[in-house]
Chain A
Amino acid sequence: ATDVPWHTIEPLPDDIEEAECELATFLTEVEFVAGDVPARWISQTTPDSFEPRNVLLAQVMDESRHMDVFRKRALANGGGLMQATGGTAGVVGSIDLARDFTEMSSRLHISGEGAVLTIFRMGELMAYNDAEKAIYRLCAQDEARHVAFGVMHMRYMSTEAPERHDEIECYLDEAERQILAGSQNPAGNQTASSEALAVLLGGGRDKYDEGFRKLMAIRKRQLQEYMKRVRSAGFGARFENGRSRVQEMIEASAA
């Protein structure tokens, strides 16, 4: 309500405002997946593990704030909410349907929020006023904590639960299938939100191609940062032994 300089939002060209509102609709829709899902797991976690519980509770509150801020952005400048994407549906492989905490964390923190974090960090490239810059910067700050938790949890599992390595590799296989193809990544393949992003990055529909090239660079960065996280978590061998196709995806996006 008060930390974002809302007064700096001035009228934008229609195509830019539409793209902003489409992206904001997507973000207000998906941000609370990361609120609902940890909440369910918190209620099933023993109070003995209060440190991770408290981190997840902070995440739930962060996500409610993100849901709030993107709804506000959509309604603050002559636009409105647009069409939902359905990107967080209850389908196999979705974050909602994880039956194990590490499975959930790999999908939510490492893959999903990792991809969104890259985009928030690129906020300067797609913000049109100080309010949007502040929104992306503050959201990036929050998201970075969530991703860090996911990486550190996976690192813990890597050293303390070697018997679960193969299982976790399967979770990462699923996460990698979703990274560009799934609709939870706003920069994913040919989704409404990715088109909106390209419009914002280019500076308008007539500069879509330029925006798309920047989007490709963001996708490449998403994948590179994902690889760094997984290496940091102790599962980097998958990129050397041919199990993961992420390196191929990076090369394909560069071509």
Chain B
Amino acid sequence: MAKAKASQAAADSKQGQPGAIDGIPQPRFDWAGRSNQWGTRVKPGKHGLRLGDLNVGIYGEIPEYWPDQTRNPRGAIPRKGVPPVGYSIRDKAGLWADSAADLYEEAIQRRWAPATDVPWETVKPLNEGLERAICQVCTELCQYANGDIEAISSWQHQMSYGYHEVKQFLATAAFDGARQFEAFRKRALCNGGGLGLEGPGKVNRMILESRGGWSEAVIYLFLLRGTFTMTMLRYLERAAYNDAERFLYRHALQDKARHVTYGLEHLQYAIAHQEDMALIMQQLMFIGDRVFAREMRDNVLREALAVIFAGGIEKAGTEGMAVYREMMADFMETYLGNCSWLGVKRNLEMMPQLLTQYVKRT
């Protein structure tokens, strides 16, 4: 009894001290008081508490090179002796875009769900030729989406944690690809049609096989193919046959616009911070244009688009093709305009005639 009372008294006297009770280990609290910058209080603004708002003080110092090979969050105190995870993209010029944080927030805030947001009930039967053409275009858009998904996913995990804004934005871009795949597959299968022919896939292959770094992939994925996809979606929206299609094309266009914005801003940054980047881009686009032109030689997409633009097979060869040529002219104007904006010289004489035939010359 005396022993029990003594033991109780001892326990009582230690109460309030961490680890005072038997079986509870003494805490170390060696993490307490360790911060590179304490006292940070970021408040939500008109658009909420955004990722870019966190870049204050040390948390906003984004160095040109990130040597840390671990997942240490930017601004946190690194732990010494942690084996590296192994990130190969450590130069800011290899991935950065000033708008990455804002594009990430926009992607999150403008998300849409193909299952429930698209007014599928507005899709009504169309003439067979038209339905087949729409299904074919949707099939090819699914293939483009697959290319986006695989390209982004294969590079994203190689990017250093110091540039988390870009990693986070690319996570949304990859998800946009998944949504695009889902949405266009649904359109192909919801109105009595089905999936069509696989596209040539030459541009997809070029994107996936690029080994010169993420910037090279961006040139092909966003500058070249992204601009083409945006142009095509814009024309498809104009030629949509129901509210569901209009919704699909408009929202896919909105998503794609973010990707192209990132692409252009990243390439702009890369050119400004890497001496010969503009020359490298010239070389890459010389190759890329040719591969793109070879893909466009395939008649399937061209004819499907012409049928959609004309409302059917009957006038596809005339009215439909006229709109197609207008679309390609628009694409070339935007594409060359983007190159010019980036300061990358393009020589029309060196570009494939299949593309330059659409250039409006003054």
Contact = CB atoms under 8 A, between A and B. Distances in A.
A39 B109 contact: no
Nearest to B80: A86
Contacts of B65: none
A84 B83 contact: no
B171 interface: yes
Chain A interface secondary structure, helix, strand, loop or mixed?
helix
B156 A90 contact: no
Given A78-B41, A96-B85, A209-B20, A64 B76 contact: no
A72 B178 CA distance: 27
A75 B153 contact: no
Contacts of A33: 71
Contacts of A65: 108
Contacts of A241: none
A208 B20 CA distance: 9
A30 interface: yes
Contacts of B185: 50
B73 A71 contact: yes
B272 interface: no
B67 interface: no
B48 A91 contact: no
Given A63-B171, A80-B37, A84-B73, A57 B149 contact: yes
Interface of A: 1-2, 4, 6-7, 15, 18, 21-22, 25, 28-30, 32-33, 35-37, 39-40, 42-43, 47, 50, 53-54, 57-58, 60-61, 63-65, 67-68, 71-72, 75-86, 88-91, 96, 190, 192, 195-196, 198, 205-206, 208-209, 212-213
8 contacts: A22-B32, A39-B156, A57-B153, A64-B171, A75-B59, A80-B35, A89-B70, A89-B84
Given A7-B44, A84-B77, 19 more contacts: A1-B109, A28-B73, A29-B71, A32-B164, A33-B71, A36-B157, A37-B157, A39-B157, A43-B149, A60-B171, A75-B59, A80-B40, A83-B78, A89-B70, A90-B84, A190-B25, A195-B29, A206-B18, A208-B24
